[in-house]
Structure 1
Amino acid sequence: MTSRRSFPAFSPELFAPTAGRPLRAKSRLLEHLADIQPHRHDWAQLVFSMTGAVRVNTEASTYIVPPSRAVWIPPGIVHAVTAIEQAELHTLYLGPELLTGEAWSVGRVLEVSPLLRELVLALPAVPDPLPPESPQDTERRRGMEQLVLIELQRARPLALGVALPQDVRLRRLCEAMLREPGRHAGLEEWAVEAGASPRTLSRLFREQLGTSFAQWRSQLLLAHALTLAARGRPMSHIAAELGYASASAFTAMVTRTVGMPPSRFFAAA
């Protein structure tokens, strides 16, 4: 069994946005199953990986994202990151004054355009103090920072977040499903592990998350399937890993949930 390694939050205060540098870049390599411990800060954050999938947890939601997708985390939100596989993690820290309004006050998944990807790679990912810059270098960096903000405002939001409950019993069940989404298909099997009746868990899904077990599980499976599809896995392998007896059964679930077959959904999302 692969062991899980836990890391502190990599000294985010060394990259805190300032008046002179309101947008900061940071990068690091996370090994498979490595965790960045829960933490918070007073600035906003955009987190994504160039290679490898990551899971970003907040108190209210979890986001499972492959490369070319990013998670927006508003200021003050407690969050943690887990590498589903080895990930080249990149982070942008943004002063809270840069992107304001209701849309930026909640966490969500955003599409990363090719231009935004290259801009993040080009920004200096170093803590303070910034190495000496020529006037031309400073002008170039500030121009890139402005382009990053424009690209973020143009970025398409994607419905890839999975809500998490406050109830301890249901939270424990949801966390187990996140770790191994294909272990059981039905609520009855999961209820045995949770030590609660299917009726109780069904009620908690409705009360805590405003959805049914089947709907919540479908959203979770879609997020995992998108990650597997980003690795180039064939549909039959994705279906098997997520516990479906056949690719056609998995295709029917995706079509029923999002209104289009997996080939179109994965291409569009």
Structure 2
Amino acid sequence: MATRPTRRSFPAYLPERFAPTPARPVRAKARVLEHLADIQPHRHDWAQLVFSMTGAVRVNTEGISAAAWPAASATYIVPPSRAVWIPAGLEHAVTAIERCDLRTLYLAPRLLPGDAWAAGRVLEVSPLLRELVAALPGLPDPLPPESADDAERRAGIEHLVLAELKRARPLALGVALPQDARLRRLCEAMLREPGRHAGLDEWATEAGASPRTLNRLFREQLGTSFAQWRSQLLLAHALTLAARGRPMSHIAAELGYASASAFTAMVKRTVGMPPSRFFAEA
């Protein structure tokens, strides 16, 4: 009988030692996370961009952000070509869906002001932005002295990072999470194993509630139906699987669909295009 991987939880890795300063308003940090490793919920006074060079990650955010409606409680499932923007002061946690080379940028809030940067969201990671992040020195305080040439190079990289972030296209890959404890447990179970049950009746039986009650809670808590919420969740997982080069039949089976054609119909219904085009454009 196969055993499930062990989930491990770690505190945030000394974020205060990477805090932006007037001299260094953009800081970088690298960390390898094994499969199912968690970075515990935390918050800080600076903004953050988190993505993985290799491997998919899940980012949870909690609490209320100035531009978020109705609250910034959400989960983002992203492959290496995507990043999650986390505004200053927003509580967040990270889970490795698979072994990943995690990269974090810490940015002084003044660098990207305005409502567009006041809420969490998913952004594209261009090849240039990916290489710029990798080129930034990822050292904690106290920092060693820099030569004049090194400081000039770093400042140039920071300037280009901000330019690429401003150009990055936002993507609707976030899945809202409810406040109701019963519905929250159900949503968390679906996030962990989206293909375990295909319909609301099965999930309702597991949750110990009627389908009618759960549908009402989805409407009241999240402003959407169970089917619409689940479709967004499945699209996020499908994009992660597609980024690993998985064939369509494998993606459909892992997400609980009886056939690739049934999965294709869901994608067309949700985003108005076939999976091949959706994955290519996303």
After TM superposition, the score normalised by the length of structure 1 is 0.99
Q: Does 1:111 align with 2:124?
A: yes
Which 4+ stretches in 1 moved above 6 angstroms? none
- Structure 1 residue 156, shift from structure 2 partner: 0.3
Q: Find the counterpart in structure 2 of residue 248 from structure 1.
A: 261
- Structure 1 residue 224, shift from structure 2 partner: 0.1
Aligned counterpart for 1:34 among listed residues 28, 33, 37: 37
Q: Find the counterpart in structure 2 of residue 212 from structure 1.
A: 225
- Structure 1 residue 132, shift from structure 2 partner: 2.0
Alpha-carbon separation, structure 1, partners of 2:244 and 2:5: 20
- Structure 1 residue 134, shift from structure 2 partner: 1.2
After TM superposition, the score normalised by the length of structure 2 is 0.95
Once the two structures are superposed, the pairs formed by residues 89-238 of structure 1 within 5 Å of their partners are 89-238=102-251
Aligned counterpart for 2:47 among listed residues 37, 44, 47: 44
1:221-248 CA-partner distances (Å, limit 9, x unpaired): 0000000000000000000000000000
Alpha-carbon separation, structure 2, partners of 1:138 and 1:207: 52
CA RMSD across the alignment: 0.5
Alpha-carbon separation, structure 2, partners of 1:26 and 1:58: 20
Q: Does 1:257 align with 2:270?
A: yes
Alpha-carbon separation, structure 1, partners of 2:22 and 2:125: 26
Task: Give secondary structure in 2 for the equivalent of 1:199.
Answer: helix
Aligned counterpart for 2:26 among listed residues 23, 36, 39: 23
One-letter identity of the residue aligned with 2:275 = P
Alpha-carbon separation, structure 1, partners of 2:23 and 2:208: 54
How many residues get paired? 269
1:156-209 CA-partner distances (Å, limit 9, x unpaired): 001100000001111010000000000001111111111111111100000110
Q: Does 1:71 align with 2:84?
A: yes
Q: Find the counterpart in structure 1 of residue 68 from structure 2.
A: none
1:66-122 CA-partner distances (Å, limit 9, x unpaired): 001000000000100000000000000001111010110000000000110000000
One-letter identity of the residue aligned with 2:78 = V
Q: Find the counterpart in structure 1 of residue 69 from structure 2.
A: none
- Structure 1 residue 151, shift from structure 2 partner: 0.3
Same amino acid, percent of matched pairs: 84
- Structure 1 residue 34, shift from structure 2 partner: 0.2
- Structure 1 residue 129, shift from structure 2 partner: 2.1
Alpha-carbon separation, structure 1, partners of 2:143 and 2:130: 22
1:246-265 CA-partner distances (Å, limit 9, x unpaired): 00000010011000000000
Which is worse superposed, 189-198 or 44-53?
189-198
Alpha-carbon separation, structure 2, partners of 1:128 and 1:40: 19
Q: Find the counterpart in structure 2 of residue 14 from structure 1.
A: 17
1:39-87 CA-partner distances (Å, limit 9, x unpaired): 0000000000000000000121000000010000000001000000000
- Structure 1 residue 133, shift from structure 2 partner: 1.5
Alpha-carbon separation, structure 1, partners of 2:244 and 2:60: 22
